[in-house]
Structure 1
């Protein structure tokens, strides 16, 4: 075994490109690759890693504007072992620091004291780390982030192991007799001192280190290093509705007319599998029996204010025009009798993308739902639909690594189409990985636990991910409304009716819904849902600005309270509250309670519904009605709310009322660009600033020549 400590190896260290030479050991290399970002590498790192597929350039200028940080440990304290089994990395961990991240975690939040195995999987397995979007990136309350750059299945021991030391006597310890099985096997004495990452099969490794000085700054560095956070088109922040899987062209038109006739906001309609001639696996060819005139249909829907989104997955049926092109560039196992494209091969990605570009995007399709790019449920022996880990691909990547990055590469392929056409999108995807911050893709899942859905919003902010807690069926009106509140207060508001004939708010019973039997109070519930969706539309300017800060500054638009308040121990384990932008705190409820306990961090906060003022640093019991929002506003905020629109076009202008919370008001901003292209990346945008001084609202624009998206109409003082 080759083992070394950087205490021995770091004979010379310079700011950039420092190297050390150690006899009979791998030569560690420490390189500064951006302001506050270093890479430690040793041995023979794998060819196929998450970062090897990241083509977005780091936003170095923005990274340089961040406050400089210092790690709470020396680089010399990081240990790496390379042996016949693989590679082990040991990173210092102090007694009082808390850990978060590892991708879109489901069922866990604070990862300190857990064994985490972030593996791609179509269903979570307890709190082990199996998830749609695994990542080997974690952040600490001590103000830094660590990313192990590997596509291999990796296990992290987050302060759970005590190592035998050769240079000291092990103290005798006893925990006494156990009173239960759970008590017997609980690791009651939390181990301290190391996070251990075990990477079987790796002959070397790269470790990315993102400095703080605080947790939020470390996240900003990670997102900016990944190319900056995604900025969806403005219309994508509206409402998306997916129709029943077997709907035809006429039935989709009826749904579209229902939304417009009843003045229910909707910007995107998603088509499910039957739009294709074959699905499972896919042909990517319009089913003429269901959609006899797809181009005319697409154009008609657009003129009514709807963008179309198409369901698919990446497994290519023999009936597809892509089959023969990709047959020599696919894995050696089939999925649903379809090819698995070798997305690690740029040519395979380009062939797949070029077909989609010419066949769909250039003809008016605005996005795709990219399904089943994760893996069969590893917690069941009967779940075998995906390709095996021992699969081989022409590029040389194996099945294990391909599983980990398949969704990431799928996004890369499809996103590239829209980038080339200078046409923004918000995709739906069922898998992702590290360095995906710049991809405008909302992750979704087939699990449906509402509590999990809420907690995944905060977890997504630790890893540069966008999460969409969609609404499907409901078991009660309470369930429907609580889920709708959560969807409205998330990155994407989505109703997925892929197995429902009618919208879920017209009939919550699945069988009755599909028989066309609506609830007696359907119109009343419809009206309540409309109120929530109108609030979503009023929030779009605020959300759009939050996403612009994601791109410009790296600030996650949706993030757990601990990101903003890392010194407040009371928030370390709060998974069901989260920040939206700079000034809003959301605390969703599930159907199980008409009230809930919330904790408000330091400062003063206002209940969005009642304007009641609360002192921070305390917990409260709150009640929220079905047509209200579990939302609190930070004192000093200028909150711009728009008159709701039913849908957004390039010509849309928002009529804004600014709510003023308190007397010592902070300046706020709104982001102005064309809302649809990538021209903002070339600096083609403006910033509208809002201030309130001596009883007067002041509006300033950095780009006076640009037609403003916003018309500031009113200033409303909230005391």
Structure 2
């Protein structure tokens, strides 16, 4: 039996980090768990999917990327602090879907889910306690509590090294920017603090290399999401006040004008009450919901319904779900505790019977984040002091709520073997398997692009939107950016007409058409058709996300880690294996573009560029800011108006350079989840310099692709 007096003496005499238990365990290939003390009851890993096997995909890693015993822990007032040694050459990336920062060294990051970005603190819709190092490892803090990271931003007192000799003069700063904002203390340490806990749990992800770190993280989360093929098409969200007739008029506009559109979204007006939600159809606007759903589906559209989880007292769910809800309301509505089986069952069963089984294809889960922390009168969400039946508090639930809500709803589609593609306004750790895209009420084009770049460090899909714009150039440049994103969506929730018919909001309300609306409509049609042409390429990229953990949209640094020129590029990104995107922001017609080492081709002109250098590029509004990597087979489909379960895409394969590697396309029944049971094909496209060949491997009996043409476009 242990001597309690001796233990007490040890806790007094020895440092706290030595007196408190600490364990290190290899929990998955290339993944180590370190536990210090006693972490809180609920951790993000409690809610994640089962990891996918990585042994056939990633190189074996026999030992951690650094000596894990060098991590120092200590208890502090109300929490725990960890210190990790780093060297002076390391750069850091990640912390989820960051909006206004890319490289993170020298910054303080405060991980807090928020509905609005407040300064450059680290808040956001998908702020996460996870970063990766340019040295090829990742660090994740497994907590739902607010976490603060000091990313080699503060130097510690050193009394042992030789001191510099003071000179006779010094530079006197004359601005506060020079004094406070430009420099930080030299530091060789990353410090992490978590308050409100008696312990800390870290996960260390090995490489080798940064891309392998992200692959391991995505595998550990359960594999990347594989959307339905139609989810990669075009989505349009109709005005919030539209009734059945107006929604059908919008649907007919797309079909009559041959503008592809796969999904129509309904905003709050479909419900009898929306802030908080009744989850009941407004019969004044939609007198026969079942018939309306059938009409929309018959036209080839998939219907998406807006909601949030806050349950209004008039809802048929309210009485039964109230006992599984927290002790504070949001907009007078009950806040379900989706950790509890009761809330999952009541909320899920209702949505399954009333919506999923009746033909609703997806949902938009709004307001699942939290209030703007820097605006005192914007505290619309539940407070930090809220208590939930599961035992967690408001701080923890704010981080977890979006992911728990998202998972509860998506599980309904998995249960019915249906593929879906959600919109959601917040996410957290381990969300890679969720077929959903994040969105925001913010509208900075530059922020949208930076978030697109950062999404590859987060295990989430990011969806910039097009709404109103300031001018024609802004309209087209934003439309180009959403064409080159994980989801192409125009959100007309306050617009009567699509923005290319009238981008001025007040004139749009009056249904006044732009003088050149037909020209802009044709440009929109061309870009949406291009998006439909890219479906085979995009679908293959997302299949790699699932099977190999490679983010379909990612920063250049992940593909070119040894190129110092890409280390700080936050306005260009890779889309799949071979497409480099360089969006033109805020109506620009000229920008600097850096092309990594190798040969690249302008997608518009097939002009060849030597990589490893920057170019000043000018492009008209009719040109897409895209460059194709040398030795690429790029399959482009004849654009369809919408995707059905019987769709067969006719492909033209464009050849750039002299590709020696085959292109792998993914083929399956993209309306269900049978691929998880191995029902799919890999369609291998090869080019021998003169002709192309097609080889199928797999057990899927259907056909999604037919190769109609091979053509050399860049050589």
TM-score by structure 2 length?
0.95
1:45 aligned residue: 39
CA contact (8 A) 1:316 1:339 kept: yes
Establish whether residue 30 from structure 1 lines up as the match of residue 24 from structure 2.
Answer: yes
Alignment partners' CA distance in 2, 1:319 and 1:474: 38
Runs of 4+ in 1 over 6 A off after TM superposition: 21-24
> 137, 141, 144: which one pairs with 1:148?
141
CA deviations 1:431-475 (Å, max 9, x no partner) are: 000000000111000000001001111101101010000101111
Q: How many residues align?
A: 698
Alignment partners' CA distance in 1, 2:538 and 2:581: 13
| Structure-2 change in CA distance of 1:289 and 1:193 (3 Å) | same
1:251 aligned residue: 246
Establish whether residue 208 from structure 1 lines up as the match of residue 203 from structure 2.
Answer: yes
CA deviations 1:315-343 (Å, max 9, x no partner) are: 00001111011111111111101011112
Alignment partners' CA distance in 2, 1:530 and 1:234: 19
| Structure-2 change in CA distance of 1:713 and 1:90 (3 Å) | same
Deviates most, 241-250 or 168-177: 168-177
1:287 aligned residue: 282
Deviates most, 254-263 or 38-47: 38-47
Alignment partners' CA distance in 2, 1:173 and 1:248: 77
1:548 aligned residue: 543
Residues 611-690 of structure 1 mapped to structure 2, 5 A cutoff? 611-690=606-685
SS in 2 for 1:81: strand
2:574 aligned residue: 579
Residues 4-403 of structure 1 mapped to structure 2, 5 A cutoff? 25-54=19-48, 56-62=49-55, 65-68=58-61, 71-165=64-158, 168=160, 171=163, 176-186=171-181, 188-403=183-398
Task: Measure how far apart 1:495 and its partner are.
Answer: 0.3
SS in 1 for 2:534: helix
> 400, 408, 428: which one pairs with 1:405?
400
Alignment partners' CA distance in 1, 2:580 and 2:657: 16
Deviates most, 110-119 or 493-502: 110-119
Task: Measure how far apart 1:627 and its partner are.
Answer: 2.5
Task: Measure how far apart 1:187 and its partner are.
Answer: 5.7
CA RMSD of aligned residues (A): 1.7
Alignment partners' CA distance in 1, 2:645 and 2:542: 18
Alignment partners' CA distance in 2, 1:708 and 1:649: 13
Task: Measure how far apart 1:190 and its partner are.
Answer: 4.8
| Structure-2 change in CA distance of 1:289 and 1:697 (3 Å) | same
CA contact (8 A) 2:423 2:436 kept: yes
Task: Measure how far apart 1:384 and its partner are.
Answer: 1.5
1:427 aligned residue: 422
Task: Measure how far apart 1:638 and its partner are.
Answer: 0.6
| Structure-2 change in CA distance of 1:170 and 1:367 (3 Å) | farther
Alignment partners' CA distance in 1, 2:65 and 2:85: 9
| Structure-2 change in CA distance of 1:23 and 1:559 (3 Å) | closer
1:564 aligned residue: 559
Alignment partners' CA distance in 2, 1:587 and 1:657: 24
CA deviations 1:577-636 (Å, max 9, x no partner) are: 000111110000123421100101111111100101111110001122222210001001
2:12 aligned residue: none
Deviates most, 337-346 or 650-659: 337-346
Alignment partners' CA distance in 2, 1:703 and 1:278: 49
SS in 1 for 2:457: coil
CA contact (8 A) 1:63 1:224 kept: no
CA contact (8 A) 2:277 2:307 kept: yes
CA deviations 1:537-568 (Å, max 9, x no partner) are: 00010000000000000000000000111111
Task: Measure how far apart 1:83 and its partner are.
Answer: 2.9
SS in 1 for 2:698: coil
1:10 aligned residue: none
CA contact (8 A) 2:96 2:126 kept: yes
CA contact (8 A) 1:243 1:252 kept: yes
CA contact (8 A) 1:560 1:578 kept: yes
| Structure-2 change in CA distance of 1:155 and 1:170 (3 Å) | farther
CA deviations 1:156-195 (Å, max 9, x no partner) are: 11110112357x3573587743232111113625523111
Alignment partners' CA distance in 2, 1:58 and 1:269: 33
1:9 aligned residue: none
SS in 2 for 1:206: strand
SS in 2 for 1:422: coil
1:458 aligned residue: 453
Alignment partners' CA distance in 1, 2:217 and 2:71: 20
| Structure-2 change in CA distance of 1:695 and 1:70 (3 Å) | farther
TM-score by structure 1 length?
0.95
SS in 2 for 1:513: helix
Alignment partners' CA distance in 2, 1:373 and 1:23: 37
Alignment partners' CA distance in 2, 1:187 and 1:172: 21
CA deviations 1:188-236 (Å, max 9, x no partner) are: 2552311111111121011011100100000000001100000000000
Alignment partners' CA distance in 2, 1:472 and 1:348: 35
Task: Measure how far apart 1:47 and its partner are.
Answer: 1.6
Alignment partners' CA distance in 2, 1:571 and 1:67: 27
| Structure-2 change in CA distance of 1:516 and 1:567 (3 Å) | same
CA contact (8 A) 2:457 2:554 kept: yes
SS in 1 for 2:350: helix
CA contact (8 A) 2:631 2:657 kept: yes
- Uncovered stretches (5+) of structure 1, i.e. residues with no partner: 1-20
| Structure-2 change in CA distance of 1:539 and 1:664 (3 Å) | closer
Alignment partners' CA distance in 2, 1:663 and 1:565: 21
SS in 2 for 1:702: strand
| Structure-2 change in CA distance of 1:593 and 1:274 (3 Å) | same
